[in-house]
Amino acid sequence: MDFHALNSIRCPALLITAPASGQGKTTLTAALARLHARAGRRVQVFKCGPDYLDPHWHQLASGAPVHSLDLWMTGEADVRARLHAAALRADLILIEGVMGLFDGQPSAADLARLLDIPVLAVIDASGMSATLGAVAFGLQHFQPGLRWAGVLANRVASARHAQLLQGGVHADSRWLGAVQRIAADAGTAALLPQRHLGLVAAQELGDGLQRLDAAADALAQTPLGQRSWEDWQEWSVSFAPPAPASAAADAPEAMGPWLAGRTIAVARDAAFSFIYPANLDCLQAMGAQLRFFSPLAGERLPDCDALWLPGGYPELHAARLAAQTGLRSDLLAHWQAGKAIWAECGGMLALCEGIAASDGQYTPLWGLMPGKAQMQKRLAGLGMQQLPTPWGTLRGHSFHYARLDSSAPVAGRSARPNADAADAGGEWLYRHGSLHASFFHAWFASHPRAIAALLGAHEASQEGA
C-alpha cells in the first residue's frame, strides 16, 4: 500500500492568502482561529515563511504555539511532519500565507498546491467594487492546480459596498462574505497596530484578546463565519508524515546530543522576542537546559555555559537596557571567561557601543562588541539567507532597519538562496572572541551541529572541523 495513504490522517485545513501584504490576512486568520476556539475546537495555526510577530496573535487566538512552514527554510520534510502531527491532535488547521499568494520562491501557492490545501483569498476592498471579482479570478486561475476555497472582502465600507463587491465575483470564485473595517476604539485606531518590523506583539497590549473577539464577532456575520462544521469537512486534507526516502534532500540534519549537560541562557522579553518555538525545541533536542531571563526586568545573567541573545526591539528600549549595569557586568565576565554568545540582529545591537535612532538621538548600550548601530527609515535587509559556517550551512532570513559600523573581525557572510559569490545581499557574521553575531536569523534545525558549535559545544566543533 502507498506510504502516504497508509499513514495519512484527514483534517479540515485552510490557507489564508492575499494579493499582497497589508490586506488584513493576519487579523482575519486570527479572527477565524478565535471563532473556532470559542466554539470549543482545537485549532492549530501555522505561518508561512519567516515571521516572529504574527504568530503571537495566532497563539493568543488559538491557545497553541505557532510554527513556521517554508519549503526552503524549514524544508518539505519538516513541513509534512509538523502538519501531520497537527492533524493528529487538532480539529482545524489554519495556515497564514506570506506576502501575496505567488510571492517568493517557493511561494504560499507552492505549499498549497503540493499538499492540496484549500486557498482562501482575503482582499482589501477599499476603493474598489466589481474589480474585486477580477482580482479573485486572477488569483484563482493564475497557476493551475490550486484547490480554491473562496474570497473574503476586507475593509468594506457598507452593506451597499458589499453588494457591489459580491456582484463582481464569479460563481466559481465563491463569495464568502465581507468584513467592514474594524477599529480598536470609537476612533480610527487600527485593531492590530503596527510598527517598523510589523505588528505590535500581542503580549504588549493588555486588551489583545478583546481585539481578537471583536474581529471574530465581525467574521461571524459572514458566510465564512456561519459555515457549518459539516461544510468545513469539504476542506479536509490528507496529511501524511514525510516518507522515509525523503529523509535525504531537505530533511534537517539528525540531532546529536551536542548540548547535553550544557545550560543555555536565553534573553526573552519585549526587547528580545524574536524566538521561533522550533529553535527552542531544537536546543532541547540536543540536550540543552534552557534558562530564560528578562534584561528589561533587571534580571541578571543566569548561571550558564552559553548565551543566546535573540532579535527583537532593543532600539525601543535602549535607555532601559543601558541602565542594566549589573547585567552588563555579567555579560562582560561571561565573555572574558571565553563562554560562547550567539547574538542575532537585535541581540547583536544590544551588545554594541550604542545605537542612534532614526531621528539622530544616540543611546549608549552594553559595549561588549565594537561598533555603533544606526536605525534608518528604510529597510536595510530583507529576505531568505543561507550562512556557511565551518560546521555546515545554516538557513534563515534577514529583516532589519539598522546599519552597523563595526571593527569586529568578520568570520563569514550569508547569501541569498542560489546566489553566486558576487552577490552583495548577505549579512556579515562577526566573531569577537567567544561572541558570534550577525543580522542573520537562523533556523536552528537547518543545521543543529552548527548552532551547537556557535554555542560553544566542543564535540560539535570538533566534528565539523
The CA distance from 432 to 366, in Å, is 14
pLDDT tens digits, 11-45: 999 999 999 999 999 999 999 999 999 999 999 99
- Establish whether the linkage from the previous residue to 295 is cis, with ω within 30° of 0: no
- Which of these ranges, 56-60, 252-256, 409-413, 451-455, has the smallest mean pLDDT? 252-256
Instruction: State in Å, rounded, how far the first CA of the chain is from the last one.
Output: 44
Q: pLDDT exceeding 90 applies to what percent of the chain? A: 76
Reported as a pLDDT band with limits 50, 70 and 90, residue 188 is: very low
Q: Locate cell 474585486: which residue?
A: 132
Q: Cα dist. 287→205, 255, 260, 304, 427 in Å?
A: 35, 10, 4, 14, 29
Of 297, 366, 290, 365, nearest to 332 by C-alpha is: 366
Please report, for residues 22, 162, 382, 401, the alpha-carbon distance to residue 440 in angstroms, rounded to integers and kept in the order given. 24, 44, 10, 13
Percentage of residues in the chain with pLDDT exceeding 70? 89
Per-residue pLDDT band for 72 (boundaries 50, 70, 90) equals very high
pLDDT in the model for residue 51:
86
Strand duo 435-438 + 392-400: pairing: unpaired
Whether the Cβ atoms of residue 84 and residue 9 lie closer than 8 Å to each other: yes
For the chain, domains (ranges, CATH) are 3-245 (3.40.50.300), 263-464 (3.40.50.880)
345 catalytic residue (yes or no): yes
For residue 246, how many other CB atoms are within 10 A of its CB?
Answer: 16
CB 426 within 8 A of CB 449: no
> pTM here?
0.91
* Whole-number pLDDT of residue 186: 40
Q: How confident is the model at residue 175 (pLDDT cuts 50, 70, 90)?
A: very high
Q: Higher model confidence: residue 172 or residue 53? A: 172
Mean pLDDT, all residues of the chain: 90
Give me the catalytic one of 48, 304, 345, 352. Answer: 345
